[in-house]
C-alpha cells in the first residue's frame, strides 16, 4: 500500500526482529512534507519511539534506515542514506550518513526507509529485493568482516536478476563498540554515533537490497531540465574538479595553510615532516590505483590505493592477492597520521582498512587512540597501563595494534571501545577530552574558523563537521541565495552567528534530501529539483525553513533525551592558543559567540531551549508543552 506522494514510494518497511515478522507501513505524508527524508525524517520517526529511559542497546531503540526524495534519482552525488537511532555513544539523537550504492538500492527495492525494532533470538540478515522481504539465518556470517559478509550474502542471492548491495556490521558492531559503523560497498560507512552497535545489539548482521522500482515524479520534464543544468555545474565546478583529481585528502593541503588540520591531538597546527608526508600529491604519485565513485557520481572522490609495506589479506576489497585497500579519506588519513604525530600515509591507509574490515568509525577510533597517545606523552598514562605499548608520538604501529584491540575489546581496547569521554573519566581527566556531547571532534580546528566553534558546540549529534561545513564556506564555497557568504575567518560578531546557523540549516536540508556535501549545485537547481520531484511550491526561503525546522526539531528531541544548555560547549584544549601555524594564535570566544547565536536562533539564553514563538514559526508548536512544561516563557 502506498500514498500518492510524488518523490517518494510512499511506504516504509517495518521489521520486528523479536517476533520475526515484517510489514509495509504507509509513509506519513505530513512527516515527509515537514522533515523531507534522511536524518530529518528519521529523527521525526525516532521521536515516536524513544523516551529518556530508552536503552540505546536495548530492543526498544528503533534502528531507522532512511532515504530521501533525491536518492536513487539521476541527480549527481545523490547516492546516500541515513541511519538514525538513539546513540549508544552520546545517548542523544544519533545519526550517520553513508554513501556508495546501498541507499539507491533500497529505493530500487521499493521502499523509502526501514524501521527496525526488537532483537532477534539469534543472528539474522534481512533481504529486501524487488519488494520481497525475508529474514535469513546469519549464524555463519557472525564474526566475518565487512567485505567477506558482502561476498557471502550476494552469493546466497545470486539467482536474483538485479544488482545487489549490502549494508553490514563487522566485529565492532557485534562487540558493541560504542562507535561501531554500518558499512556498505567499497569501504563506505554510515559511521558516526555508534549505530553499528545498535545494529549488532539487534543481532542483525546485514541488509541486502536491490530492485528496479522508481519513485514517481511530479514533473518529469522539468526534472530533466534541472538535472541537465546540475550535471553541467558539477562537471565544471572548480571545487569538484579538485576533488575528482585528488580526492578528499586535498583537505589536508588546504588545511595546513589555515591551521585547520590538527596535529598531535589538537596541540599543534604545523609540522613540516607531517605536511610533507600527508598530502594529496603523495597519495596520487605513490599509492593511487583508481577512483571509486558512488552511485551516479561524476566526482569520484573515493580512492582505491595499493600498499607496499603492509600485508593485506584477500577479500572483496581487492578481488586478488594485490594489497589494495579503500581510501584513505581526509579524516582517516589525518586521524591516523598527524593526530598521533606520524607521517606514514600508507600506514594510515592500512589503519583505515582495518576500521573498514571491522566496521569502525575512523574518526572516533583514531581520535580515541590519539587521546591515549596524548595522555601517555603528558605523563598521565604509563606503558604499564597501555598493555605495554609505547605510545610516543609517531608510533603508528602501536595505533594499528590498538585498532584490533578496540574492535575485539581486548585488553586496553575494551576501555577505548567506550569512547574518548570514558577514557578521560577512567584516568581522572575528563576536562582533557576533545569531545562535545560525547562525540569526538573531527579534524577541522575551530581555531582556524571561528564559526566552526558554534557548529561543534550546538549540533544535535555532537561535534560534527558534516552538520555544518562552515570552514568550506569561508574558503569560498558560497551560496548567496541561501545566505551562505564570506565573512572574516576569525570574526566574532552577529554575522558569524547568522552564517553558522544558515550553514547548519542548509546541511540539515541536504542531509535530508539527501545530497552529498561535495555536490553543491546552484540554488536554482536545488529548488527546481525538489519542486519537480515532489510538486511542492518551494523557493529559497522554504529550503532554509525546511532545514531550520529539522535542526530545531533534533534539538527539541535531545532535550527529551537529557541534553542541557551546558552541553553547548567547546573543549578545553580547543580554547588554548597555538602561536605557530595557520591559526595565528586565534582562540574563539565561545561564550560570546553562543550569546550571539542564541539571539539569532531565538533560543532562550538561560536554558538553550528554542522559544515558543520560534516553535510556532516552524510549525513545531505541538512540542512546546513537552519542552517547556509549565515554565513556558511569555
Q: Which residues in 281-296 are b (16+ Cβ under 10 Å) and which e?
A: ebbbeebbeeebbbbb
Question: How confident is the model over 68-79, as pLDDT tens digits?
Answer: 999 999 999 999
Q: Would you say 217 and 4 are in contact if contact means Cβ atoms under 8 Å apart?
A: no
Domain-embedded: residue 206 = yes
Task: Give the mean pLDDT of 5-20.
Answer: 97
CATH assignment at residue 569: 1.10.599.10
Domain-embedded: residue 183 = yes
The residues, ordered by sequence, that sit 6+ positions from 161 with a Cβ below 8 Å of its Cβ are none
Task: Give the mean pLDDT of 88-107.
Answer: 98
For 334, the grid coordinates are: 589525518
Domain-embedded: residue 612 = yes
Given a cut of 50, whether residue 65 has pLDDT beyond it is: yes
For 429, the grid coordinates are: 581527566
The residues, ordered by sequence, that sit 6+ positions from 89 with a Cβ below 8 Å of its Cβ are 178, 179, 193, 194, 364, 419, 438, 439
Place of cell 558534516: 466
Q: Total structural domains in the chain?
A: 3
Question: How confident is the model over 513-561, as pLDDT tens digits?
Answer: 999 988 878 999 999 999 999 999 999 999 999 999 999 999 999 999 9
Q: Do both 128 and 180 map to the same domain?
A: yes
Q: Residue 542 is inside which H or E element, if any?
A: helix 540-560
Q: Do both 459 and 427 map to the same domain?
A: no
Q: Which of 386, 401, 436 represents a domain boundary (last residue)?
A: 436
Given a cut of 80, whether residue 161 has pLDDT beyond it is: yes
**What is the Rg, in whole angstroms, of the alpha carbon atoms belonging to the chain?**
23
Q: Which domain holds residue 67?
A: 11-210
For 304, the grid coordinates are: 582505491
pLDDT at site 412: 98
Half-sphere exposure of 354 (CA within 13 A, CB side): 22
CATH assignment at residue 56: 3.60.9.10
pLDDT at site 2: 44
In sequence order, the β-bridge partners of residue 132 are 129
CATH assignment at residue 328: 1.10.569.10
Q: Do both 189 and 83 map to the same domain?
A: yes
Given a cut of 90, whether residue 186 has pLDDT beyond it is: no
Under the banding of pLDDT at 50, 70 and 90, the label for residue 631 is: confident
Domain-embedded: residue 223 = no
Q: Do both 431 and 456 map to the same domain?
A: no
Report pTM.
0.97
Domain-embedded: residue 266 = yes
Q: What counts of helices (H) and strands (E) characterise the chain?
A: 25, 17
pLDDT at site 235: 80
SS3 letters across 70-121: CCCCCCCCCCCEEEEEECCCCCCEEEEEECCCHHHHHHHCCCCEEEEECCCC
- Percent share of the chain, pLDDT over 90: 91
Q: Which of 436, 469, 492 represents a domain boundary (last residue)?
A: 436
pLDDT at site 630: 79
pLDDT at site 315: 60
Place of cell 536491490: 210
The residues, ordered by sequence, that sit 6+ positions from 88 with a Cβ below 8 Å of its Cβ are 56, 57, 94, 176, 178, 194, 197, 198, 201
Closest-CA residue to 503 (of 483, 489, 517): 483
Mean pLDDT of the chain: 95
Closest-CA residue to 181 (of 91, 94, 78): 94
Q: Do both 467 and 386 map to the same domain?
A: no
Q: Do both 527 and 610 map to the same domain?
A: yes
- Phi/psi for 594 (5° steps) reads -65, -40
Task: Give the mean pLDDT of 140-147.
Answer: 96
Q: Do both 432 and 493 map to the same domain?
A: no
Q: Residue 21 is inside which H or E element, if any?
A: strand 21-26
Q: Do both 411 and 487 map to the same domain?
A: no
Give the C-alpha separation, 470 to 475, whole Å.
9
Task: Give the mean pLDDT of 276-303.
Answer: 93
Q: Do both 421 and 502 map to the same domain?
A: no
pLDDT at site 632: 77
Domain-embedded: residue 481 = yes
Q: Do both 512 and 621 map to the same domain?
A: yes
Q: Do both 170 and 254 map to the same domain?
A: no
Q: Do both 577 and 456 map to the same domain?
A: yes
Question: How confident is the model over 434-455, as pLDDT tens digits?
Answer: 999 999 999 999 999 999 999 9
Question: How confident is the model over 242-266, as pLDDT tens digits?
Answer: 888 889 999 999 999 999 999 999 9
Q: How many residues does the chain have?
A: 634
Domain-embedded: residue 454 = yes
For 401, the grid coordinates are: 595494534
* Pairing mode of beta strands 93-98, 113-117: unpaired
For 616, the grid coordinates are: 510556532
Q: Give the end-to-end CA distance of the chain in Å, rounded to a whole number.
A: 45
Domain-embedded: residue 239 = no
Given a cut of 70, whether residue 301 has pLDDT beyond it is: yes
Task: Give the mean pLDDT of 585-605.
Answer: 98
Task: Give the mean pLDDT of 128-135.
Answer: 97
* Pairing mode of beta strands 165-168, 182-184: antiparallel
* Pairing mode of beta strands 113-117, 11-16: parallel
Q: Which of 402, 436, 470 represents a domain boundary (last residue)?
A: 436
How many CB atoms within 10 Å of residue 18?
Answer: 12
How many CB atoms within 10 Å of residue 238?
Answer: 9
What is the edge-to-edge ordering of all strands in the sheet holding 132-137?
132-137, 124-129, 204-210, 165-168, 182-184, 188-190
Amino acid at each position: 500500500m502506498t500514498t500518492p506522494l510524488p518523490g517518494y514510494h510512499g511506504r516504509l518497511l517495518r521489521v520486528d526482529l523479536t517476533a520475526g515478522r515484517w510489514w509495509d507501513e504507509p509513509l506519513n505524508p505530513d512527516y515527509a512534507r515537514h522533515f523531507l527524508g534522511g536524518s530529518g525524517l528519521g529523527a521525526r520517526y525516532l521521536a515516536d519511539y524513544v523516551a529518556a529511559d530508552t536503552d540505546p542497546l536495548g530492543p526498544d531503540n528503533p534502528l531507522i534506515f532512511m532515504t530521501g526524495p533525491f536518492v536513487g534519482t539521476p541527480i549527481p552525488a545523490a547516492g546516500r542514506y541515513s541511519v538514525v537511532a538513539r546513540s549508544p555513544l552520546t545517548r542523544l539523537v544519533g545519526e550517520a550518513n553513508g554513501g556508495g550504492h546501498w541507499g539507491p538500492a533500497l529505493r530500487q527495492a521499493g521502499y523509502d526507509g526501514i524501521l527496525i525494532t526488537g532483537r532477534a533470538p539469534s543472528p539474522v540478515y534481512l533481504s529486501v529485493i524487488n519488494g520481497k522481504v525475508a529474514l535469513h539465518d546469519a549464524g555463519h556470517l557472525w564474526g566475518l568482516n565487512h567485505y567477506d559478509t558482502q561476498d557471502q550474502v550476494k552469493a546466497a542471492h545470486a539467482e536474483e536478476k538485479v544488482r545487489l548491495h549490502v549494508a553490514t556490521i563487522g566485529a565492532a558492531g557485534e562487540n558493541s563498540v560504542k562507535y561501531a559503523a554500518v558499512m556498505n560497498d567499497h569501504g563506505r560507512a554510515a559511521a558516526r554515533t555508534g549505530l553499528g552497535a545498535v545494529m549488532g545489539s539487534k543481532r542483525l548482521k546485514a541488509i541486502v537490497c536491490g530492485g528496479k522500482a522508481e519513485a514517481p515524479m511530479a514533473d518529469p520534464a522539468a526534472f530533466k531540465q534541472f538535472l541537465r543544468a546540475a550535471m553541467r555545474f558539477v562537471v565544471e565546478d572548480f571545487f569538484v574538479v579538485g576533488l575528482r583529481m585528488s580526492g578528499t585528502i586535498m583537505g589536508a593541503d588546504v588545511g595546513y595553510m589555515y591551521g585547520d588540520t590538527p596535529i598531535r591531538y589538537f596541540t599543534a597546527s604545523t609540522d613540516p615532516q607531517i605536511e610533507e608526508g600527508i598530502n594529496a600529491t603523495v597519495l596520487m604519485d605513490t599509492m593511487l590505483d583508481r577512483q571509486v565513485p558512488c552511485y551516479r557520481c561524476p566526482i569520484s572522490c573515493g580512492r582505491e590505493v595499493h600498499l607496499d609495506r603492509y600485508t593485506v589479506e584477500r577479500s572483496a576489497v581487492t578481488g586478488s592477492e594485490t594489497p589494495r585497500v579503500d581510501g584513505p579519506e581526509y579524516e582517516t588519513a589525518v586521524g591516523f597520521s598527524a593526530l598521533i604525530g606520524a607521517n606514514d600515509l600508507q600506514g594510515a591507509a592500512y589503519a583505515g582498512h582495518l576500521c573498514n574490515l571491522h566496521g569502525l568509525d575512523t574518526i572516533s577510533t583514531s581520535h580515541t587512540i590519539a587521546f591515549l597517545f596524548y595522555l601517555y606523552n603528558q605523563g598521565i598514562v604509563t606503558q604499564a597501563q597501555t598493555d605495554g605499548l609505547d605510545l610516543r608520538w609517531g608510533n603508528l604501529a602501536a595505533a594499528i595494534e590498538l585498532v584490533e584491540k578496540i574492535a575485539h575489546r581486548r585488553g586496553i581496547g575494551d576501555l577505548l571501545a567506550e569512547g574518548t569521554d570514558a577514557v578521560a573519566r577512567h584516568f581522572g581527566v575528563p576536562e582533557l577530552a576533545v569531545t562535545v556531547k560525547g562525540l569526538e571532534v573531527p579534524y577541522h580546528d575551530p581555531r582556524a574558523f571561528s564559526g566552526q566553534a558554534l557548529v561543534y558546540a550546538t549540533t544535535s549529534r555532537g561535534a560534527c563537521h558534516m552538520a555544518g561545513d562552515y570552514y568550506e564556506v569561508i574558503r569560498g564555497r558560497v551560496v548567496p541565495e541561501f545566505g551562505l557568504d564570506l565573512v572574516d575567518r576569525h570574526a566574532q560578531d552577529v554575522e558569524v552567528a547568522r552564517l553558522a546557523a544558515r550553514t547548519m540549516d542548509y546541511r540539515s536540508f541536504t542531509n535530508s534530501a539527501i545530497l552529498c556535501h561535495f555536490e553543491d549545485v546552484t540554488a536554482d537547481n536545488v529548488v527546481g529539483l525538489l519542486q519537480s520531484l515532489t510538486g511542492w511550491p518551494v523557493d529559497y526561503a522554504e529550503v532554509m525553513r525546511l532545514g531550520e525546522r529539522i535542526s530545531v526539531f533534533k534539538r527539541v528531541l535531545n532535550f527529551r533525551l537529557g541534553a542541557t544548555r551546558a552541553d553547548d560547549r567547546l573543549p578545553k584544549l580547543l580554547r588554548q592558543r597555538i602561536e605557530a601555524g595557520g591559526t595565528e594564535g586565534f582562540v574563539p570566544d565561545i561564550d560570546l559567540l553562543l550569546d550571539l547565536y542564541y539571539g539569532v536562533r531565538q533560543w532562550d539564553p538561560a536554558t538553550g531551549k528554542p522559544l515558543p514563538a520560534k516553535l510556532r514559526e516552524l510549525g513545531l508548536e505541538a512540542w512546546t508543552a513537552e519542552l517547556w512544561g509549565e515554565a513556558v516563557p511569555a
